């Protein structure tokens, strides 16, 4: 549980340093808070033979915008910049500095794995390793919600989502960050078909629920765009640009779409 | 979680369609994480106007009864039903009277104006500031989730059947991601000369 007085619990914090607090007894209380919330949102969806990880590119601090282009989704384990040698993607949202540090560490580990073993790291192994990295900082965590994407050993889309201390789970879809509460119920409905039933299939408990089937890539891409344009309308920390990384057996494709900048 | 607005939990949403409006609420009543009742509707009819109230349950009941009294008095004096627009101003001024000791409620109004025939929805904060929205209004502990689902599912000029499906899906999927809302729902679809009230089961957990 967070300290109720910490900036993390009491809303947006504007900088690392807080001005000294004057108490009635004339004692100055100094404090330093090592975390900032940089806002933004990320989202991952898998299909039969692909995985999409997306994130907006706005970075905020309180009501200020630091930049309109700060990527939150990264290729992991590439060494030529073409994306052909990489087959894993990572998205991090929360405290951007921790996110970047985490990306750098995982990137180095995945590369070292290939150099030492002469084969690329599987997504399953990478997912377990990321959990270990996060738990390694259990008592001074990376303040991020991470999502890892790629293709599993069978070539099927794989997606793993994490809490800041390394608890993780493989899922079909996951939204994280500032607008996660807005996007996630929409995804439940449109990806996993929650609360949808087959008309005329029965009465009461006999009524048959619509089964979730993997969606085609074009449909998933459009769902991601819809989710983000919706989030942009209602959340001030989300906007500017939408970056998508699509993992297929042919490598990683990057797509950038502009979002509203207001 | 000690905010009066989120002790009992609950959600409400209103939407505009083509010559129709819809308003829906969940049925949960709780004390923090403990569910006390699964039959606590939050929508109250006042003639042609429907008022949705989320927030502190004791205030929901008090405010609902207060407006029953006020709207009855209006009808007796004016010898006509209250219009949604007049109801909106009545709610606004009544809430502002309690500016420095407010009712902890977030009201939502839906109805069709019988003089103009036009659909009308609006929402308020707890001290009566009116939000005249053209598309949808959300309120309650699942308001973030409702903003997401409504923004994603709503489209202009829906027929009553489509509007029912849209508002139901928006509410059901939103409350399933909120621990303080859910346990079934009521959905009202209001047309010019017909009102349909439906009970939705939803997830019971």
pLDDT 10s digit of each residue in chain B, 205 long?
Answer: 689 999 999 999 999 999 999 999 999 999 999 999 999 999 999 999 999 999 999 999 999 999 999 999 999 999 999 999 999 999 999 999 999 999 999 999 999 999 999 999 999 999 999 999 999 999 999 999 999 999 999 999 999 999 999 999 999 999 999 999 999 999 999 999 999 999 999 999 9
Cβ atoms B141, B5 nearer than 8 A: yes
Q: Hey, are the CB atoms on B148 and A181 less than 8 Å from each other?
A: yes
CATH number of the domain bearing residue A182: 3.60.20.10
Please report whether residue A127 resides in a domain.
Answer: yes
Chain A residues with CB-CB distance to B174 below 8 A: 185
Q: Look up residue B3 and give its two tokens.
A: 């905010």
Q: Hey, are the CB atoms on B148 and A185 less than 8 Å from each other?
A: yes
Please report whether residue A113 resides in a domain.
Answer: yes
Rounded to a whole number of angstroms, the distance from the CA of B44 to the nearest CA of chain A is 26
Please report whether residue A106 resides in a domain.
Answer: yes
What would the DSSP string read from start to end of B43-61?
A: EEEETTEEEEEEE-HHHHH
Q: Is B174 on the interface with A (CB under 8 A)?
A: yes
Question: Phi first, then psi: what are they for B162, rounded to 5°?
Answer: -70, -40
Q: Hey, are the CB atoms on A195 and B176 less than 8 Å from each other?
A: yes
Whether the model clears a pTM of 0.90, i.e. scores above it, the answer is yes
- Which residue range forms the structural domain that includes residue A95? 40-258
Please report whether residue A9 resides in a domain.
Answer: no
Tens digit of each residue's pLDDT (9 = 90 or more) over A146-176: 999 999 999 999 999 999 999 999 999 999 9
Question: Phi first, then psi: what are they for B143, rounded to 5°?
Answer: -65, -35
Among A20-24, A45-49, A96-100, B73-77, the range scoring the smallest mean pLDDT is A20-24
E-strand ranges in chain A read 17-22, 28-32, 41-46, 51-56, 59-61, 64-67, 73-76, 88-94, 144-151, 157-162, 168-170, 173-177, 241-248, 251-258
Please report whether residue A187 resides in a domain.
Answer: yes
Please report whether residue A121 resides in a domain.
Answer: yes
Please report whether residue A26 resides in a domain.
Answer: no
Question: Looking up tokens 């929508």, which residue turns up?
Answer: B43
Position A137 confidence tier, pLDDT thresholds 50, 70, 90? very high
C-alpha distances (whole Å) from B50 to each of A171, B67, B130 are 41, 11, 16
Cβ atoms B55, B5 nearer than 8 A: yes
**Domain total of chain A:** 1
Residue from B145, B148, B171, B187 whose CB has the most chain A CBs within 10 Å, to mutate: B148
Please report whether residue A72 resides in a domain.
Answer: yes
d(C-alpha A143, C-alpha A165), whole Å: 9
B167: three-class secondary structure by DSSP = helix
Q: Hey, are the CB atoms on B148 and A184 less than 8 Å from each other?
A: yes
Task: Indicate the pairing of strand A59-61 with strand A64-67.
Answer: antiparallel
Position A10 confidence tier, pLDDT thresholds 50, 70, 90? low
Question: Looking up tokens 């609360």, which residue turns up?
Answer: A195
């Amino acid at each position: 549980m967070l300290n109720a007085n910490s900036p993390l619990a009491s809303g947006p914090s504007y900088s690392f340093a807080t001005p000294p607090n004057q108490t009635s007894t004339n004692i100055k209380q100094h404090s330093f808070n090592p975390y900032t919330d940089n806002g933004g949102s990320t989202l991952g969806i898998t299909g039969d033979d692909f995985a999409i990880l997306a994130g907006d590119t706005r970075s905020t601090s309180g009501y200020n915008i630091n930049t309109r282009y700060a990527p939150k989704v990264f290729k992991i384990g590439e060494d030529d910049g073409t994306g052909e040698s990489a087959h894993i993607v990572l998205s991090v949202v929360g405290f951007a500095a921790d996110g970047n540090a985490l990306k750098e560490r995982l990137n180095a580990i995945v590369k070292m794995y290939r150099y030492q073993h002469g084969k690329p790291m599987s997504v399953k192994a990478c997912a377990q390793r990321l959990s270990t990295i996060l738990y390694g900082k259990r008592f001074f965590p990376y303040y991020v919600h991470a999502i890892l994407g790629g293709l599993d050993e069978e070539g099927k889309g794989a997606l793993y989502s994490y809490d800041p201390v390394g608890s993780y789970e493989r899922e079909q879809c996951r939204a994280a960050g500032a607008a996660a509460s807005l996007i996630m119920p929409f995804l439940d409905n449109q990806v996993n078909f929650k609360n949808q039933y087959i008309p005329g299939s029965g009465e009461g408990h006999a009524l048959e629920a619509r089964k979730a089937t993997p969606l085609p890539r074009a449909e998933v891409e459009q769902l991601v765009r819809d989710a983000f344009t919706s989030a942009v309308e209602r959340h001030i920390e989300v906007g500017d640009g939408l970056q998508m990384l699509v993992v297929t057996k042919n490598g990683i494709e990057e797509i950038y779409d502009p979002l509203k900048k207001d | 979680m000690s905010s009066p607005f989120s002790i009992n939990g609950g959600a409400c949403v209103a939407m505009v369609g083509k010559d129709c409006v819809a308003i829906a609420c969940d049925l949960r009543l709780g004390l923090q994480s403990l569910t006390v009742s699964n039959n606590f509707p939050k929508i109250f009819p006042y003639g042609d106007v429907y008022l949705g109230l989320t927030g502190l349950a004791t205030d929901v009941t008090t405010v609902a009864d207060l407006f029953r009294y006020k709207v009855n008095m209006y009808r007796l004096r004016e010898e006509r039903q209250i219009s949604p627009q007049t109801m909106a101003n009545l709610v606004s001024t009544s809430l502002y009277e309690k500016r420095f000791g407010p009712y902890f409620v977030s009201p939502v109004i839906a109805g069709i104006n019988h003089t103009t025939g036009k659909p009308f929805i609006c929402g308020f904060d707890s001290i009566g500031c009116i939000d005249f929205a053209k598309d949808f209004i959300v309120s309650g502990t699942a308001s973030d989730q409702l903003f997401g689902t409504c923004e994603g599912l709503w489209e202009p000029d829906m027929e009553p059947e489509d509007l029912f499906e849209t508002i139901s899906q928006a509410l059901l999927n939103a409350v399933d991601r909120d621990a303080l809302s859910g346990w079934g729902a009521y959905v009202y679809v209001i047309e010019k000369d017909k009102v349909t009230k439906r009970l939705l089961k939803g997830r019971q957990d």
